[in-house]
């Protein structure tokens, strides 16, 4: 299902200013449960849109179908085309006890890194049975070993039935069943591999995409398969000690060329989602050889490199953005790495003020919630 990595990991942990440590508590806020969207808006592009202008620290309120009003001809929208796997599986132990499995990452044929619940039933050596709708065994599995961060490495007898048996892996804060599993996919989703949706893209419709193209907005696509850190809370106050989970990503030569061309021509690169942002920023970090050349010639560059491999870039305030000029995103959980990323892009105080205004005006939060455009 997933393509194997072909290159190395791109990694930066923590902010450049170690004399100014950033704390987990700096990214906390209170959100009453009633603000968490339980179902998606229909049509997709009728969600609300908060527009943040970084230059003047001002806020506008609109709707997503008006996105084109805030973009300019020549702007390059960069989408994450990862498709969500039906990664939530239900199994039984040999004693008939229920176990829930979430597929995170394919390690090799039939072998996956997973999270399981409850963990006490999936210790190494445990054997599991996955049944179909008629109650017959469709596949078996064995817990091979424990993985990093409390994960489990599971070997399945066959991957073939997993897609039929699996359910959409909705986040734990969504309690309402999803009538149409495709509603947790973007309309341009193509490459299977994510354990969660790149939710900023859920607002786009084919009609809106066509309208944007007709107005001169250009498109490019990257792939970043969303993994464990979407579900795993940050547990350390000193954020330089948090190790973000690796995710597999790809930027093709064609996409890298389109982004570099946009920068040369003075056009904006607008990342659709924090996933696209992380991958692009990782690919724009200068190599040691490039840094030496830049220092020698006293110039800066925004050259972005094609890439295929594992990414664990952790973006905190202090990060210098090289690839992304504007960002489209949703409203994120408190104390999350995603909230830290948008705070790095727009400023923590501005983001928290915007979130307070969103609550005051009744915006919907998280995966099925409203959108935020940061210019």
Are 96 and 77 members of one domain? no
How many domains does the structure of the chain reveal? 2
pLDDT at 17 over 50: no
pTM: 0.88
Three-state secondary structure call for residue 331: coil
Are 234 and 316 members of one domain? yes
pLDDT at 1 over 80: no
Are 196 and 236 members of one domain? yes
Would you say residue 335 lies in a domain? yes
Are 196 and 152 members of one domain? no
Are 52 and 161 members of one domain? no
Are 233 and 340 members of one domain? yes
pLDDT at 6 over 50: no
Give yes or no for a contact between 351 and 343, defined as CB atoms under 8 angstroms apart: yes
Q: How many CB atoms lie within 10 A of CB 124?
A: 11
Strands (E), 43-198: 48-53, 58-63, 76-80, 82-84, 88-93, 98-108, 111-117, 127-131, 137-146, 152-156, 191-194
Residue-level pLDDT at 149: 77
Residue 108 belongs to domain with CATH number: 2.40.10.240
pLDDT at 215 over 90: yes
Are 105 and 202 members of one domain? no
Domain that holds residue 63: 24-84+179-374
DSSP character at residue 51: E
Sorted by sequence, the CB contacts under 8 Å of residue 96 that are 6+ apart come out as: none
Q: Provide mean pLDDT across the span 272-286.
A: 94
- Helix H segments across the chain? 162-165, 206-214, 253-264, 274-283, 288-297, 337-346, 348-360
Residue-level pLDDT at 250: 97
Give yes or no for a contact between 316 and 344, defined as CB atoms under 8 angstroms apart: yes
Are 144 and 201 members of one domain? no
Q: For residue range 135-179, what is the model confidence (pLDDT) as tens digits?
A: 999 999 999 999 887 899 999 999 999 999 999 899 889 999 898
Would you say residue 12 lies in a domain? no
């Amino acid at each position: 299902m997933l393509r194997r990595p072909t290159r190395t990991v791109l990694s930066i942990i923590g902010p450049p200013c170690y004399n100014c440590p950033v704390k987990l508590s700096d990214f906390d806020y209170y959100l009453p449960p009633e603000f968490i969207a339980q179902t998606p808006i229909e049509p997709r592009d009728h969600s609300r849109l908060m527009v943040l202008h970084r230059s003047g620290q001002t806020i506008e309120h609109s709707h997503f179908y008006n996105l084109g009003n805030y973009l300019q001809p020549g702007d390059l929208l960069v989408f994450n085309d990862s498709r969500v796997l039906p990664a939530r599986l239900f199994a039984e132990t040999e004693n008939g006890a229920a176990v829930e499995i979430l597929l995170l990452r394919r390690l090799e044929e039939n072998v996956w890194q997973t999270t399981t619940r409850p963990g006490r039933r999936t210790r190494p050596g445990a054997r599991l049975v996955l049944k179909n709708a008629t109650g017959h065994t469709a596949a078996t599995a064995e817990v091979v070993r424990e993985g990093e961060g409390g994960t489990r490495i599971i070997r399945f007898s066959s991957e073939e039935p997993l897609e039929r048996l699996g359910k959409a892996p909705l986040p734990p804060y969504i309690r309402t069943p999803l009538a149409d599993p495709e509603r947790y996919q973007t309309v341009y989703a193509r490459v299977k591999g994510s354990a969660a949706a790149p939710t900023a893209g859920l607002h786009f419709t084919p009609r809106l995409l066509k309208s944007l193209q007709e107005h001169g907005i250009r498109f490019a696509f990257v792939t970043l398969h969303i993994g464990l850190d979407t579900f795993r809370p940050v547990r350390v106050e000193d954020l330089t000690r948090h190790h973000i989970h690796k995710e597999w990503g790809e930027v093709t030569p064609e996409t890298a060329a389109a982004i570099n061309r946009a920068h040369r021509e003075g056009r904006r690169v607008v990342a659709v989602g924090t996933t696209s942002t992380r991958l692009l920023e990782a690919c724009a970090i200068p190599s040691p050889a490039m840094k030496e050349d830049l220092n020698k010639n006293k110039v800066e560059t925004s050259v972005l490199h094609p890439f295929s491999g594992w990414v664990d870039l952790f973006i905190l305030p202090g990060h210098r953005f090289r690839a992304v000029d504007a960002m489209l995103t949703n409203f994120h959980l408190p104390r999350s790495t995603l909230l830290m990323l948008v705070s790095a892009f727009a400023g923590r105080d501005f983001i928290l003020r915007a979130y307070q205004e969103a609550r005051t005006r009744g915006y919907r939060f998280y995966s099925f919630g409203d959108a935020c455009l940061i210019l």
